Amino acid sequence: MATAMSCGVSSVFLLFYVFTSCLGLFSGGETFKRQVSVELNPGLTVTPPGGDLLHVRAVGDNDTLHFLFCSQGAPTLLLVHTNSSSSTVKVDWPLFLARNTSGSLRVEPESSILYSTAVVFSRLLEYDDVNDTADPTSDPFPPYELQNFTWSRLNLSGPVALLCGAASNFTNGSLCLQLSVFQSEGRGELWPRLIHTANSSQMGVWLDGMLPRANRSRFLLELQAVSGAYPLSRVEVHRSIDDEYTPSIFKVSQWVSSVNGSSDVLGFVQWKPVAYRQSNPALEDATPCRHSDPRPQSSEKTAASSGLIRAFYSEPDTFALNVSFGLAGEPFYNSTQFLSWTVLVGVGSPPVDSFSPLVVAIMAVGLGTPVVFLLLGGLWVCIRKRAADSTTAYEPIN
Ligand SMILES: *[C@@H]1O[C@H](CO)[C@@H](O)[C@H](O)[C@H]1NC(C)=O
Ligand SMILES: *[C@@H]1O[C@H](CO)[C@@H](O)[C@H](O)[C@H]1NC(C)=O
Ligand SMILES: *[C@@H]1O[C@H](CO)[C@@H](O)[C@H](O)[C@H]1NC(C)=O
Ligand SMILES: *[C@@H]1O[C@H](CO)[C@@H](O)[C@H](O)[C@H]1NC(C)=O
Ligand SMILES: *[C@@H]1O[C@H](CO)[C@@H](O)[C@H](O)[C@H]1NC(C)=O
Ligand SMILES: *[C@@H]1O[C@H](CO)[C@@H](O)[C@H](O)[C@H]1NC(C)=O
Ligand SMILES: *[C@@H]1O[C@H](CO)[C@@H](O)[C@H](O)[C@H]1NC(C)=O
Ligand SMILES: *[C@@H]1O[C@H](CO)[C@@H](O)[C@H](O)[C@H]1NC(C)=O
Ligand SMILES: *[C@@H]1O[C@H](CO)[C@@H](O)[C@H](O)[C@H]1NC(C)=O
Ligand SMILES: *[C@@H]1O[C@H](CO)[C@@H](O)[C@H](O)[C@H]1NC(C)=O
Ligand SMILES: *[C@@H]1O[C@H](CO)[C@@H](O)[C@H](O)[C@H]1NC(C)=O
Ligand SMILES: *[C@@H]1O[C@H](CO)[C@@H](O)[C@H](O)[C@H]1NC(C)=O
């Protein structure tokens, strides 16, 4: 009787354990939402010369995230997080367009600002990889300064903005940046299918149809991260065991702020180390990328190249890194004349990939089936034993 009892109890425990561990994998049900509104060139009725300024307001319960995207100079994305749901952006347009004073773009009230960070897409570098070593230092061409590109007007559709431009030197083709801001958590539709939240925005960057300066050209993109305090100063590379959303890629890189060496993250730029050689990529169009270590940069140069940085920051702190596309032995840019790469820019901790329900179900079946068989086997043994016990117990009466 006692063995039967303990058999029953342990079976129930096992079942309970399997059930809860399955539920645990599904957790994170409630999603955080923001009210998103879009405004082009706030406070201006005419189109400004030299490029547009997009303002996306994302209001949370009692905070606001302001996304500002500007093509006055090098394309720049600025995120300002405030602890008030009524903070506003004020632009002094004549000063803003003169691009020589800070304070021409302000977020008010100033005391509500919790954190701000900006990313400047500053340069496109090209090198002739004659020996197919993918060593970016080997034979560089003069870089393309994105501040000297001719940029289109911002093409808006909802909270998605498209900006395309070309250097005067481009024979054909263009470099495009597409900003997407989100109301709630989700995942991009195209590879690398990055997971995003209401606290982040996604920037897709692609170079389409441009004629390279050599047949064996490869490219790098220079990014500058700017902040008033706690700049993005280190890149962490995390490994994952799951590549279901980004086939063959098991890493995610995140460029994060560091608060006196503590692990708290105030802002981040996150990407998967992969670019694609087609706009609708197949697996063979994926090409790995690498990044250099972030290095401190001259803030004055950054402010001179970007209207938004000049306008918002009085004492910017800048770090820069390069992302290089392609490894030795891979096709060169001229094979498809297309290259696209995607990053997430946000405040707070970067989102963490989780398993999809499908993978969870497969794991549950894979791990659960042996457990169920064990349980059934155990139960069967218990029942047999009980039956044997009772028959032996009854025998003397016969
Ligand atoms: C923030 O909003 C929640 C409800 O959305 C409210 O309960 C809380 O008191 C607010 N906190 C502050 C500091 O205003
Ligand atoms: C900024 O530039 C404008 C003209 O472009 C000039 O009138 C003004 O004096 C300059 N201001 C400063 C602070 O340099
Ligand atoms: C946040 O809000 C409170 C109350 O409105 C304010 O006193 C404070 O200065 C704000 N800013 C920060 C950075 O906490
Ligand atoms: C390419 O290889 C040749 C022969 O090995 C060498 O002379 C040349 O310097 C290399 N070029 C570059 C850019 O590395
Ligand atoms: C244009 O091309 C020439 C020669 O290739 C180069 O020296 C110059 O720097 C290029 N200009 C720009 C803006 O890229
Ligand atoms: C880009 O523009 C800046 C400022 O107008 C200028 O100083 C620089 O020479 C330009 N660079 C190129 C490569 O044309
Ligand atoms: C704006 O983008 C849409 C698709 O995103 C495109 O169909 C349309 O032609 C674009 N408009 C302009 C003026 O570029
Ligand atoms: C530039 O694009 C046009 C139209 O797509 C094409 O006909 C032309 O051959 C291209 N020029 C070069 C140099 O690739
Ligand atoms: C987004 O930021 C808000 C305010 O800081 C925070 O309450 C919320 O948990 C964050 N959401 C996510 C998904 O990180
Ligand atoms: C690229 O290769 C083609 C064919 O191999 C050749 O005709 C052309 O001159 C090369 N272009 C450059 C810039 O080297
Ligand atoms: C690309 O460059 C290679 C190597 O020089 C050349 O053989 C090929 O013809 C080029 N392809 C195109 C499409 O220009
Ligand atoms: C960071 O460190 C500096 C000196 O090491 C100190 O003065 C400052 O208060 C620290 N800041 C924070 C937020 O801990």
Please, what's the b/e burial string for 353-379 (b: 16 or more CB within 10 A of its CB; e: otherwise)? bebeeeebeeebeeebeeeeeebeeee
Alpha helices for 174-321 (secondary structure H): 299-305, 307-312
Any idea where the domains of the chain sit in the sequence?
Answer: 35-347
Cα separation, 166 vs 76, in Å, equals 16
pLDDT at 390: 60
Nearest CA among 175, 201, 208, 204 for reference residue 186: 201
**3-state SS assignment for residue 256:** strand
Cα separation, 53 vs 46, in Å, equals 12
pLDDT at 118: 97
- Ligand 11: centre distance to CA 213 (Å): 12
pLDDT at 389: 65
pLDDT at 9: 45
CATH 3.90.950 is the classification of domain 35-347: no
Q: Whose alpha carbon is nearest atom 11 of ligand 8?
A: 172
**Ligand closest to CA 213:** 10
Q: Whose alpha carbon is nearest atom 12 of ligand 1?
A: 62
Q: Is 61 in the pocket of ligand 1 (CB under 6 A)?
A: yes
- Ligand 5: centre distance to CA 142 (Å): 6
pTM: 0.85
- Ligand 11: centre distance to CA 141 (Å): 18
Q: Is 263 in the pocket of ligand 3 (CB under 6 A)?
A: no
pLDDT at 259: 83
| Mutation test residue for ligand 12: of 260, 266, 317, the one with most atoms within 8 Å of CB | 260
Cα separation, 166 vs 16, in Å, equals 61
Return the ligand 12 atom nearest residue 260 CA: 1
Walk along the chain (398 residues) and give the pLDDT tens digit of each residue: 444 445 544 544 444 444 444 444 444 456 899 999 999 999 999 999 999 999 999 999 999 999 999 999 999 999 999 999 999 999 999 999 999 999 999 999 999 999 999 999 999 999 999 999 999 987 899 999 999 999 999 999 989 999 999 999 888 999 999 999 999 999 998 889 999 999 999 999 999 999 999 999 999 999 999 998 889 999 999 988 777 788 888 899 999 998 877 778 999 999 999 999 999 998 899 999 999 999 999 999 999 999 999 999 999 999 999 999 999 999 999 999 999 999 999 999 999 887 666 667 777 777 777 777 788 887 887 777 776 666 555 454 44
Q: Whose alpha carbon is nearest atom 14 of ligand 12?
A: 260
Q: Whose alpha carbon is nearest atom 12 of ligand 11?
A: 334
Cα separation, 182 vs 200, in Å, equals 7
Nearest CA among 339, 210, 319 for reference residue 257: 319
